[in-house]
Structure 1
Amino acid sequence: MHEDVERCVRAVRSRDTRFDGWFFTAVLTTGIYCRPSCPVMAPKPENMSFYPSAAAAQQAGFRACKRCRPDAVPGSPEWNERADLAARAMRLIKDGIVDREGTAGLAARLGYSLRQIERQLRVEVGAGPAALARAQRAQAARLLIETTALPMADVAFMSGFSSVRAFNDTVRAVFGLSPTGLRSRGRAADVTGVVSLRLPFRAPLCPDDLFGHLVASSVPGVEEWRSGAYRRTLRLPHGHGVAELRPADASYIQCTLALSDLRDLTTAINRCRRLLDLDADPVAIDELLGRDPVMGPLVRGKPGLRIPQTVDGEEFSIRALLGQQASMAAARTHAARLVAAHGVPVTDSGGGLTHVFPAPAALAGLNPAALALPQEHRASVFALIGSLASGDIDLGAGSDWRDARTELESLPGVEPGTVETIALRALGDPDAFPATDPGIRRAAGELSLPTAPAALIHRAADWRPWRGYAAQHLWSAGDRPITHDVITALQATVPSPASPSAFRCRPARSDAGRSEPIRP
């Protein structure tokens, strides 16, 4: 989009928040780059240039605006919607792979030469993998500088820099301030290892079903709903953590992370964003689905509905298969037993979380008889665990969606609906559609849609490429118990001064009198 100068100029002049993250505006006269919605008066069009990423703007020599903080906007939805090489690379970079394994590690994970990846990313986002990782390190450094009292040397290494000098140079180049000057603008926390931050998103967002779905399917010890917040443990590259997520207002989710190793900060943030689907573009999704005569009323009743995804694709796939042909309560019970027996114990000073969900390698040697499941079902679960532990199936951030589907379909006893559910929530494919899911078929019947899977898939063709969001609307159609308790809790525990109405799913307000909206 950054190449369409006219549309970019219109978005900047209207300060349209929907375009934050889609492109970045650099001001030639000041040497600063901003998000499109920056409240500072827009410069003349001839003094603006546009970049597809913050890294591209930084590489061109521009500093981040201190007013609008363009390094802290929602990510581009493209990288979660697409399955090509550039999108897979961007997801891996966001997950911190370059910091942990270098650009050579990124190439090895993707199965392409580094030269091919470099060329593709420069075409798509205007910067190579090293520059993109550097921009991400700068954002992590800013969070640690502003929200903790850690020594600057510790901040440098925990945010991924190889030296204090590189850290100092990058902070000055990106933010126009020294690390000490940046800290004076923030509020350092007293507790080392705990970071509080805001996770921005594109409005609207419907938190009721999003948090309700996560809580209704939560595994005791790994997840909980406490005092108006969804809390869960995280298995991270350098250790473990606890994330606390709560709706805060109409523009962000409040996130508190307690990490055993602060080097995992960027990875933990991006996994929480992925869990809540915060980089989605609800305007584009609702616009397409809203045209459908059946889906339209559902969309208008719950604008901004998100897909509850996952922080760990391997964990979710095991849980999904445990729940195949079982009730949600039974699936939770089976998962809780695995966690209690084989999960990694954690200490949670702020709640009742006890374990991190076990990695496939920890379950690979388990006696199948330990699972109280029918023999064929046990065989399916352990076939999946074995394939995950051996690396035959990759459900990570940079996985190839088509290959993952093929491998899952080849496992004995794994049903098509389970494969599509894993593709939707573990892989993040927004067009996955579990047509055989009983909840979706029940809702389809109530809405006079076809209930036979083949016929429903044919009807769902009108909802592409957002069939996953259509599935979420079908799951949440009507007054289902999956969200009732959480909706009530959300409305009862909204922190002052925000009002409960800010968190409820509401029909979109009329835009009468406004000019026609600009679409990304």
Structure 2
Amino acid sequence: MELDFERCYRAVDSRDQRFDGWFYTAVRTTGIYCRPSCPAVTPKRENVTFHPSAAAAQRGGYRACRRCRPDAAPGSPEWDVRADVVGRAMRLIGDGVVDREGVPGLAGRLGYTERHLHRMLTAELGAGPLALARAQRAQTARILIETTDLGLAEIAFAAGFGSVRQFNDTIQEVYARSPSGLRERRSARHTEAGTISLRLAYRAPLHDAALLDFLGARTLPGVEERDGDTYRRGLNLPHGSGTVALTPADRFVSATLRLTDVRDLAPAVARCRRLFDLDADPVAVDGTLAADPALAARITTEPGVRVPRAVDGFEMAVRAIAGQQVTVSGARTTLSRLLAAAPPDRRPDTGPELRGFPTAEAVAALPDEAFRMPAARRATIRALAETVADGKLDLEPGADREEAVARLLELPGIGAWTAGYVAMRAIGDPDVLLPTDVAVQRGARALGLPHTPHALETHAERWRPWRSYALMRLWRSA
């Protein structure tokens, strides 16, 4: 990734929070790296270098600033936008694939050799997959040290380190403190056993009402619920299950996680960030959309509308199919009946009885009477479940977007609307438009926009590459 020195230095000089996560500032004289918005004194030009990732700064021998905590900055929005190999790799690393499967597993998922993948990531981010995963492990370990009463040895393996020695050395190198030193600095906390509380940073503005309204209208009893400003749901995670409660606040979303296995902290955090679209750049999105006079007034009054995404790609695809040609409430009723017939694979050990959505294998094994829907729609969901269970269709964040859409369209009963909806919410495509959607057309009409499919699609070319965000605004206007 090319970093322009002058532009980066201006962002640091003005402490511009919009650039947090885009790059990191390292100061030679102190040996520390920071966020661009760090409130410390602006360093002299000759003492500054800029790095595209925290891992690159750590590789250069710098330790994380204790004041601004750069390792906890929002992720770069570039990886949400980009659908190339580097973008897919970053999403998979964030989901903990390297910790679970190693670099060979990451390379195999992406279809490249380890050597070539290392070369691509180093060219873009200044660090290879192991260094990027190591930086994430260090942050996961810090969260566990400061927010739980787990023993340090247990934290070492929960965070993905291969040994206690490696854990100790990494924490000392990244934070210039031993693990026990980090624990001494934490404030007193009174939390239930198995509960981890943390803050998920985002770039302001965030229109939290739009997020909560959208998710709240679609909650599935037993899987998720909305209670005022808090959204809760069950999670299926690589090593077990869990629940999360998410409450938006100023500059961060408060997250309370209950996990059956603390090794799932990093993937759980990644999925929560993805669900609330917390790594987006709302200034860039709104700037492009506000250039259209028809959207400008809405963006002024409602800045920072995000695209609610998904914690489970298969779940989102089933929801999309169930929602074909029916109302939101009708789809929820159909899915609730499906859930009632599907026994949960796992349940959280603590907290409310919320569970993750049934797996593809579980849905494929259900009898016909569990599907209270037309036979054709039942056949589509069965075909989807079997294809995902067989590994022929990848709907997770590191999936190739074009390939996933092409495979979806091969399934009976899935057309452009369903494939586009899944691409937007499950795979994170920021540039989806659904011009045949009735609510979209109604919203376009309300805003004075062309509302026939062809005319709307032509007009929407000016919204690229953020048509998914424009789509959310059309739905709200409807």
| Match of residue 292 from structure 1 | 292
**What do residues 450-482 of structure 1 show as CA deviations (whole Å, max 9, x unaligned)?**
22222211111110000000001111116xxxx
**What do residues 463-503 of structure 1 show as CA deviations (whole Å, max 9, x unaligned)?**
0000000001111116xxxxxxxxxxxxxxxxxxxxxxxxx
CA apart distance, 1:383: 1.4
Deviates more, 1:6-15 or 1:451-460: 451-460
Equivalents in 2 of 1:374, 1:221: separation in Å? Answer: 24
| Match of residue 224 from structure 2 | 223
| Match of residue 491 from structure 1 | none
| Match of residue 246 from structure 1 | 247
**What do residues 111-153 of structure 1 show as CA deviations (whole Å, max 9, x unaligned)?**
1111111011001111000000000000000000000011000
Equivalents in 2 of 1:143, 1:65: separation in Å? Answer: 15
Whether the 8 Å CA contact 1:88–1:397 is kept in 2: the answer is yes
Equivalents in 2 of 1:400, 1:14: separation in Å? Answer: 38
CA apart distance, 1:354: 3.6
Matched residue SS, 1:66: coil
Whether the 8 Å CA contact 1:150–1:192 is kept in 2: the answer is no
Equivalents in 2 of 1:308, 1:25: separation in Å? Answer: 31
Equivalents in 2 of 1:226, 1:379: separation in Å? Answer: 35
2:447 counterpart of 1:442: no
Matched residue SS, 1:41: coil
Deviates more, 1:29-38 or 1:364-373: 364-373
CA apart distance, 1:349: 5.2
**What do residues 82-133 of structure 1 show as CA deviations (whole Å, max 9, x unaligned)?**
1000000000000000000000000111111111110110011110000000
Whether the 8 Å CA contact 1:401–1:427 is kept in 2: the answer is yes
| Match of residue 335 from structure 1 | 335
Equivalents in 1 of 2:247, 2:425: separation in Å? Answer: 20
Equivalents in 2 of 1:452, 1:382: separation in Å? Answer: 33
Give the AA of the match of 2:207: C
Equivalents in 1 of 2:98, 2:351: separation in Å? Answer: 32
Give the AA of the match of 1:331: A
| Match of residue 413 from structure 1 | 413
| Match of residue 452 from structure 1 | 452
2:278 counterpart of 1:278: yes
CA apart distance, 1:367: 2.3
Aligned residues: 476
Whether the 8 Å CA contact 2:393–2:404 is kept in 1: the answer is yes
Matched residue SS, 1:300: helix
Equivalents in 2 of 1:348, 1:225: separation in Å? Answer: 21
CA 354–285 in structure 1, closer or farther in 2 if over 3 Å, else same: closer
2:189 counterpart of 1:176: no
- Where do residues 50-199 of structure 1 align in structure 2 (5 Å cutoff)? 50-187=50-187, 188-199=189-200
| Match of residue 362 from structure 1 | 362
Unpaired stretches in structure 1, ≥5 consecutive residues: 479-520
CA apart distance, 1:346: 2.5
Equivalents in 2 of 1:21, 1:306: separation in Å? Answer: 18
Whether the 8 Å CA contact 2:259–2:348 is kept in 1: the answer is no
CA 219–190 in structure 1, closer or farther in 2 if over 3 Å, else same: closer
Give the AA of the match of 2:74: P
Give the AA of the match of 1:295: L
| Match of residue 234 from structure 1 | 235
**What do residues 198-234 of structure 1 show as CA deviations (whole Å, max 9, x unaligned)?**
0110001100111110111111100001253100000
CA apart distance, 1:428: 0.4
Matched residue SS, 2:57: helix
Give the AA of the match of 1:202: R
Question: Relative contact order: is structure 1 or structure 2 higher (C-alpha 8 Å, sep ≥ 6)?
Answer: 1
CA apart distance, 1:348: 7.3
Equivalents in 1 of 2:31, 2:349: separation in Å? Answer: 45
Deviates more, 1:331-340 or 1:251-260: 331-340
Matched residue SS, 1:255: strand
Give the AA of the match of 1:99: D
| Match of residue 213 from structure 2 | 212
CA 343–432 in structure 1, closer or farther in 2 if over 3 Å, else same: farther
**What do residues 353-391 of structure 1 show as CA deviations (whole Å, max 9, x unaligned)?**
343210001111222342121122222121111111111
Deviates more, 1:413-422 or 1:280-289: 413-422
Q: CA RMSD in A?
A: 1.3
Equivalents in 2 of 1:464, 1:120: separation in Å? Answer: 26
Whether the 8 Å CA contact 2:444–2:451 is kept in 1: the answer is yes
Deviates more, 1:38-47 or 1:369-378: 369-378
Matched residue SS, 1:154: helix
| Match of residue 469 from structure 1 | 469
Equivalents in 2 of 1:423, 1:227: separation in Å? Answer: 29
Equivalents in 1 of 2:312, 2:355: separation in Å? Answer: 14
Deviates more, 1:265-274 or 1:341-350: 341-350
TM-score (norm. length: structure 1): 0.89
**What do residues 271-324 of structure 1 show as CA deviations (whole Å, max 9, x unaligned)?**
000000000000011111001011111211210110011111111111111111
Give the AA of the match of 2:25: T
Give the AA of the match of 2:142: R
Give the AA of the match of 2:164: V
2:386 counterpart of 1:386: yes
Equivalents in 2 of 1:366, 1:232: separation in Å? Answer: 23
2:266 counterpart of 1:266: yes
**What do residues 234-293 of structure 1 show as CA deviations (whole Å, max 9, x unaligned)?**
0000001100000122x0110000000000000000100000000000001111100101
| Match of residue 301 from structure 2 | 301
2:34 counterpart of 1:34: yes
Matched residue SS, 1:197: strand
